[in-house]
């Protein structure tokens, strides 16, 4: 729920966000007339929904650039967007954000409004579950029950007592006890001021630029990965052939590929001298090496030492028109 309340106890009708794909009118059945309802799969406020909430505020307060209103809110990321700042600047709404993790002092509505609201909501849900024979644990009329009880149990005096201009001031910093990984620390900002808006717009442009670059990399990723992997296998071929042996043992997939490429290169050397090899010859070695690797991957067992033995393949393999009988290598 997004509550809109001022320091003298007056309030606007709330905005309710339901964890649903689509909003249905029955979700706010029985709620005070004019209650604004939204639906979001996560049940959390989003940047798009917050702009709609700002429109809801503007319809009631009728602010203008000449007659502005101050909206004090927390530093949640859904409240900080270029769309919200533009709308507020055009309609005379000044956004003042508070530092994070200061709810106990600088956000008194947490204890005067939202605390009792959660209590009454839980009571309404528990009461409905006890009296209802349905299997669904969601009460479609819970909004009307909890909003009615909270409005009757809390008055203007409670809000006024617990919400004072003296509370809207920085809280002394506590000594850091231990290092934790957290999001970047925020600060109190007037979001509708020109420097803040310019910084926010630059951040949005940088984010969009990064997303565009990532999409391009993703589109080229498969081709790039395939090319790099092919070059890697060529290094297997050249290194293994210069060693003069195909007896390469390993416990991972990379070792099997190396074994297959080395065997393919050695067999190809019996067909064509290595001094006259060209790029096309290397490509042929890679093609048949891939074929041999598939055979190894499907049928190659492990010996008692955990090494992979190419010699256990039970049938002949034809490479470059030559029938190759794979013999047992020493372990």
The DSSP line for 3-49 is EEE-TTS-EEEEEEEESSSS--GGGGTTSPTT-EEEE-TT-S--HHH
Cα–Cα distance measured from residue 194 to residue 82, given in angstroms and rounded to the nearest whole number:
12
CA-to-CA dists, residue 331 to 12, 260, 292, 293, angstroms:
81, 17, 20, 20
The answer to whether 269 and 262 have CB atoms below 8 angstroms apart is: no
Cα–Cα distance measured from residue 85 to residue 51, given in angstroms and rounded to the nearest whole number:
9
Q: Of the segments 39-43, 259-263, 276-280, which one has the largest average pLDDT value?
A: 39-43
The answer to whether 67 and 92 have CB atoms below 8 angstroms apart is: yes
The answer to whether 300 and 329 have CB atoms below 8 angstroms apart is: no
Cα–Cα distance measured from residue 103 to residue 162, given in angstroms and rounded to the nearest whole number:
13
Interval 203-242: pLDDT, tens: 888 888 888 877 776 766 555 555 555 555 555 555 544 5
Query: Which comes out higher in pLDDT, residue 226 or 127?
Result: 127
What are the domain boundaries of the chain? 2-169+184-207, 219-324
Q: Which of 71-75, 91-95, 188-192, 298-302 has the lowest mean pLDDT?
A: 298-302
Interval 40-49: pLDDT, tens: 888 888 899 9
The answer to whether 121 and 149 have CB atoms below 8 angstroms apart is: no
Indicate the pTM of the whole model: 0.48
β-sheet bridge partners, residue 17: 38
Q: Is the dihedral of CA 17, 21, 25, 26 positive or negative?
A: negative
Does pLDDT of 316 surpass 50? no
Cα–Cα distance measured from residue 237 to residue 240, given in angstroms and rounded to the nearest whole number:
5
CA-to-CA dists, residue 66 to 52, 69, 89, 90, angstroms:
22, 10, 11, 11
Q: State residue 2's pLDDT score.
A: 84
Angle among Cα 313, 318, 319 to the nearest 5 degrees reads 110
Q: Is the dihedral of CA 85, 68, 164, 2 positive or negative?
A: negative
The answer to whether 281 and 234 have CB atoms below 8 angstroms apart is: no
Q: Is 183 exposed, middle or buried (0-12, 13-18, 19+ CB in 10 A)?
A: exposed
> Residue 148: pLDDT band by 50, 70, 90 thresholds?
low
**Which tokens in the block code for residue 172?**
């002394």
* Average pLDDT of the residues in 169-187: 63
> Residue 324: pLDDT band by 50, 70, 90 thresholds?
very low
| SS3 (DSSP) at 304 | coil
Round the average pLDDT of the chain to a whole number and report it. 70
Does pLDDT of 127 surpass 70? yes
Interval 247-258: pLDDT, tens: 333 334 455 666
* Average pLDDT of the residues in 139-154: 52
């Amino acid at each position: 729920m997004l509550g809109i309340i001022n320091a003298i106890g007056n309030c606007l009708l709330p905005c309710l966000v339901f964890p649903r794909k689509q909003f249905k009118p029955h979700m706010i059945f029985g709620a005070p007339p004019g209650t604004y309802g939204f639906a979001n799969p996560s049940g959390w406020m989003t940047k798009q929904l917050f702009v709609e909430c700002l429109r809801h505020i503007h319809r009631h307060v009728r602010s203008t650039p000449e007659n502005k209103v101050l909206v004090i809110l927390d530093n949640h990321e859904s409240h900080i967007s270029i769309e919200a700042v533009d709308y507020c600047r055009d309609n005379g709404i000044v956004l003042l954000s508070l530092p994070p993790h200061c709810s106990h002092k600088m956000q008194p509505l947490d204890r005067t409004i939202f605390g009792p609201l959660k209590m009454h909501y839980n009571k309404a849900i528990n009461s409905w579950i006890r009296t209802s024979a349905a299997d669904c644990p969601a009460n479609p009329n819970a909004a009307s029950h909890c909003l009615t009880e909270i409005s009757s149990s809390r008055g203007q005096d409670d809000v006024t007592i617990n919400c004072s201009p003296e509370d809207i001031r920085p809280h002394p910093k506590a000594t850091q006890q231990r290092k934790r990984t957290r999001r970047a620390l925020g600060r109190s900002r007037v979001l509708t001021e020109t420097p803040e808006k310019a910084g926010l717009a630059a951040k949005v442009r940088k984010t969009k630029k990064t997303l565009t670059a990532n999409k391009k990399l993703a589109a080229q990723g498969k081709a790039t990965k395939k090319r790099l992997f092919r070059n890697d296998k060529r290094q297997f071929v050249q290194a293994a052939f210069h060693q003069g042996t195909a007896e390469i043992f390993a416990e991972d997939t990379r070792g099997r590929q190396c074994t297959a490429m080395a065997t393919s290169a050695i067999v190809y050397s019996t067909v064509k001298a290595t001094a006259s090899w060209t790029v096309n010859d290397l490509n042929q070695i890679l093609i048949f090496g891939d074929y041999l690797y598939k055979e190894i991957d499907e049928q190659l067992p492990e010996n008692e030492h955990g090494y992979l033995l190419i010699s256990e393949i039970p049938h002949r393999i034809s490479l470059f028109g030559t029938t190759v009988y794979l013999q047992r290598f020493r372990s």
